[in-house]
């Protein structure tokens, strides 16, 4: 099966029925799935909320347990799979990663960007490109100015401070940077596969006690 990221080949000490072997493999793969989801959230989404483990992002949400091969000759292979292409990249790391489609890579900067994912998931005209001339950095920004029901800015009484700001720089729109755009990026290795394996190993060995 394609995209299997972690798998175990169970070679048993004693012959057991296919049903028993399959049940143990399913139980172990379910535990492995739980642990890989947790390690994904904790290591890759750690900027979303300090100390939090909130499920979001396509990588964490797409893990699933699989039985790679049915019982045969007293063995079965089980594991976890994920169709997201960058699952391995975040685990092993990669230098000079470029977009496979030739576009710029969008690096999320805010909780909302990490939650909603790719800029392609945002509404049309919700984001705009902004270039910082001094540094040359390119951002996708969101207009955060509050609007009324008619789509106009909420009217407020002008104060002396407002008048001073208007004289100094005019009524500047308020924008929030959601993504940083890069032609290529360096992805550090997190080894979150190893974290999941270590966390799952104790429970899996308990399930398989006496047969491996």
Give the pLDDT confidence score for residue 74 in this predicted structure.
65
Give the pLDDT confidence score for residue 48 in this predicted structure.
43
Task: Using the predicted structure, report yes or no on whether residue 65 has a pLDDT greater than 70.
Answer: yes
196-212 tens-digit pLDDT: 999 999 999 999 887 76
Query: What is the three-class DSSP state of 160?
Result: helix
125-182 tens-digit pLDDT: 888 888 888 788 888 898 776 544 555 555 555 555 555 545 444 555 577 888 988 8
Give the pLDDT confidence score for residue 57 in this predicted structure.
66
Q: How many CA atoms lie within 13 A of 182 on its CB side?
A: 12
Give the pLDDT confidence score for residue 75 in this predicted structure.
73
Mean pLDDT (whole number) for 81-87: 87
CB contact set of 72 (below 8 Å; sequence gap of 6+) = none
Give the pLDDT confidence score for residue 54 in this predicted structure.
44
| Rg of the chain over all Cα atoms, to the nearest angstrom | 25
3-51 tens-digit pLDDT: 566 676 665 555 456 777 888 888 999 999 999 999 998 887 654 444 4
How many Å apart are CA 12 and CA 74, to the nearest integer?
6
Q: Where are the domains of the chain?
A: 4-92+188-207, 99-184
Give the pLDDT confidence score for residue 49 in this predicted structure.
46
Give the pLDDT confidence score for residue 23 in this predicted structure.
86
| Contact assessment for residue 11 and residue 212, using Cβ atoms and an 8 Å cutoff | yes
Specify the higher pLDDT residue, 184 or 30. Answer: 30
How many Å apart are CA 125 and CA 181, to the nearest integer?
17
Task: Using the predicted structure, report yes or no on whether residue 101 has a pLDDT greater than 80.
Answer: no
Which residue(s) pair with 8 in the sheet?
78
Give the pLDDT confidence score for residue 135 in this predicted structure.
81
């Amino acid at each position: 099966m394609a995209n299997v990221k972690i798998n175990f080949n169970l070679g048993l000490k004693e012959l057991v029925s296919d049903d028993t072997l399959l049940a143990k493999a399913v139980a172990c793969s379910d535990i492995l799935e739980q642990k890989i989801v947790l390690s994904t959230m904790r290591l890759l989404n750690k900027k979303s909320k300090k100390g939090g483990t909130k499920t979001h992002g396509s990588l964490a949400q797409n893990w699933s347990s699989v039985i790679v091969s049915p019982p045969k000759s007293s063995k079965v292979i089980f594991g976890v799979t994920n169709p997201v292409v960058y699952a391995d990249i975040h685990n092993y790391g990669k230098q000079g990663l470029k977009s496979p489609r030739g576009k710029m890579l969008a690096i999320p900067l805010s909780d909302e960007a990490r939650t909603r994912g790719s800029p392609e998931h945002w509404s049309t005209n919700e984001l705009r490109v902004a270039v910082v001339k001094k540094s040359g950095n390119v951002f996708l920004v969101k207009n955060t100015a509050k609007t009324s029901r008619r789509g106009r800015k909420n009217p407020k009484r002008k104060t002396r401070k407002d008048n001073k700001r208007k004289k100094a720089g005019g009524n500047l729109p308020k924008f929030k940077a959601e993504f940083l755009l890069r032609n290529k990026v360096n992805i550090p290795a997190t080894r979150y596969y190893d974290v999941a394996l270590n966390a799952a190993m104790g429970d899996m060995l308990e399930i398989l006690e006496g047969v491996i």
